Structure 1
Amino acid sequence: MNPVWICPTGPVVMALVIRRYRPSDKDTVLTLFGTCTREHISPCFFNAMKSFYHFSVIMALLIAGYHLGSVFAAVLLPAAWTGLVYFSCYTLYDGYVRLKLNSDMADIVGSFLSRPDDCFWVAEVEGKGQVVGMVAVVAKQSGKERYGELFRMIIAPEFRRAGLGSRLTETVLAFSKERGFSKVLLETSSTQQPAVALYKKLGFRLFDNDFFYFSNQTKYYLMQHCVCLCPHSCTLNHMKQ
């Protein structure tokens, strides 16, 4: 039986259910995925603009414009650089959404539900059929080690900070333990600090800097949670998708 629990959303209390994805969920899931992923564009931009690197460049351009004796140049050059930084953040997340909508998210059943050790769940408001969250896990193998990788953790804005992220993550961990995986891996970024804090609270630990986008000063991290009974068999090896 699907677990039903109460999720406070402001003054309203709703019952939510976490269940396997159905093909009828596709339109809502894709819209939620695209909208929530693109929400990271603005935080990415503001974080980048607070960095010493971009601050220094803008100040240098401002001074250069001043020495050229042109107020127009003093305004235009920093503004142009700021626009380039925003464009970098926009293309990072919008490009990611477009890539996924044309790859694994175009066929969710085939990508996440065609093998017994993969799964894709949605969280919906009970009785209304309103999908408000999702998460997926994909089985991976590195040598003799089998592990799961968590993907597509998405929660609608009005249902955040109400425990849904914890429930979805715990669903992945329980599934992975049942399948005999040694661990669960995930990738997140410096833009998503609330998510990083949630994963740490649930026992994930940061073990590697995956890569760094210099233009928008975004770091991507790998995190893992051991779910096996033998911790020594839980290695830090990671096979990229």
Structure 2
Amino acid sequence: MAEPCRRRMEEDEEEVEVEEVPGGFTIRPCWPSDFEAVRRLYQEAAAEQVGTAFRQALQRPAVLALLGLCAALPFLGPWPGPGPGLWAAALMGPALAAASLYGACLRFGRASAAGPLQEDLADIDGYFLRPRDAGLWVAQLGGAGPLVGMVAVMAETEGPAGSCELCRLAVAPGLRRCGLGRALFCRALRFARARGYRLCLIYTSSTNTAALPLYKAAGFRLHQAYPPPEIGPLVQLLCQVTDYILTLRLSDTHPGEGGSAGLGA
């Protein structure tokens, strides 16, 4: 283990303790040996949101109308009567349109994940382990199994004085709705309060359907909503993806921070 990491963990004894979570999980500070697993877990979570964005897009009236138009176009031209070729063209049009839309969602997902993977997750030690006012925690299955969750806190330099960002909350897809996401979330909030932060910000998206109910239950409020900068105008028109900035005054308490019934990312 790198010496700066060792000193940090020795100084913050309360963060070294392993927290047992019902279901056979443990939450502990991230170690240097976890770095690659943390990046893989984040990539998996980002990839899952691509599918969410695509499914949400398929429910939009504009997209349904576009698919219907693609199916109808072969019948609107000066073609002979209906036949196998015409029906094949009617099916091919919507399929190609849906494939193009999925490709656009995929490019959006890759672009939105690239920032963290090239910045803070590329230098986990420098962003989260060395600074005393930052931290990254991982959830492990069975104490020695694979990493199945993560969450981080770091100072928010662009917000008001005394602000922090709660970020990188992710839980393996097969382990949702069991309280693990809530346990990670509460661990990060406890750290933020202990470090004296006054305001906590979360940057998230309408595609993050697993975590949005958790944030709302904990008392986070919408501060700003805006189109993702990584998405083009046509894809935004069809998909209607929205980025959110959520805020919580850490002096506030909210019943949604305790327990795990009915929530959990």
Structure 2 length as normaliser, TM-score? 0.76
Deviations 1:149-190, CA, capped at 9 Å, x for gaps: 111111112332111111111112111112221211112222
Give the letter aligned to residue 115 of structure 1: P
Residue matched to 2:7 = none
Give the letter aligned to residue 197 of structure 1: P
Alignment of 1:4-23 (within 5 A): 4-8=19-23, 14=24, 16-23=25-32
Residue matched to 2:5 = none
Is 2:191 the partner of 1:151? no
Say which SS state the counterpart of residue 242 (structure 2) adopts: strand
How far did 1:148 drift? Answer: 0.7
Give the letter aligned to residue 222 of structure 2: L
Instruction: Give the % identical residues.
Output: 30
How far did 1:122 drift? Answer: 1.0
1:19 to 1:127, Cα distance in 2 relative to 1, 3 A: closer
Which of 212, 220, 224 is matched with 1:208 structurally? 224
Residue matched to 2:241 = 218
Say which SS state the counterpart of residue 246 (structure 2) adopts: strand
Is 2:182 the partner of 1:166? yes
Which moved further from structure 2: 198-207 or 145-154? Answer: 198-207
Structure showing greater radius of gyration is 2
Residue matched to 2:251 = 228
Residue matched to 1:85 = 101
For the residues of structure 1 that align with 2:214 and 2:99, how far apart are their CA atoms? 32
Say which SS state the counterpart of residue 177 (structure 2) adopts: coil
* Alignment: residue pair count: 223
How far did 1:45 drift? Answer: 0.7
Q: Unmatched 5+ residue regions in structure 1?
A: 9-13, 230-241
For the residues of structure 2 that align with 1:187 and 1:53, how far apart are their CA atoms? 27
For the residues of structure 1 that align with 2:38 and 2:159, how far apart are their CA atoms? 34
1:183 to 1:143, Cα distance in 2 relative to 1, 3 A: closer
Which of 50, 63, 76 is matched with 2:92 structurally? 76
Residue matched to 2:55 = 46
Which of 133, 140, 145 is matched with 1:117 structurally? 133
For the residues of structure 2 that align with 1:181 and 1:136, how far apart are their CA atoms? 14
Say which SS state the counterpart of residue 185 (structure 2) adopts: helix
How far did 1:64 drift? Answer: 2.4
Residue matched to 1:11 = none
More strand, by proportion: 1
Residues 21, 183 of structure 2: 8 Å contact kept: no
Residues 20, 27 of structure 2: 8 Å contact kept: no
Structure 1 length as normaliser, TM-score? 0.83
Say which SS state the counterpart of residue 208 (structure 1) adopts: strand
More helix, by proportion: 2
* Runs of 4+ that moved beyond 6 A: none
How far did 1:24 drift? Answer: 0.3
Deviations 1:39-94, CA, capped at 9 Å, x for gaps: 12222111101101111112222222210234454333322221111011111113
Say which SS state the counterpart of residue 239 (structure 2) adopts: coil
Q: Unmatched 5+ residue regions in structure 2?
A: 1-13, 80-85, 229-235, 253-265
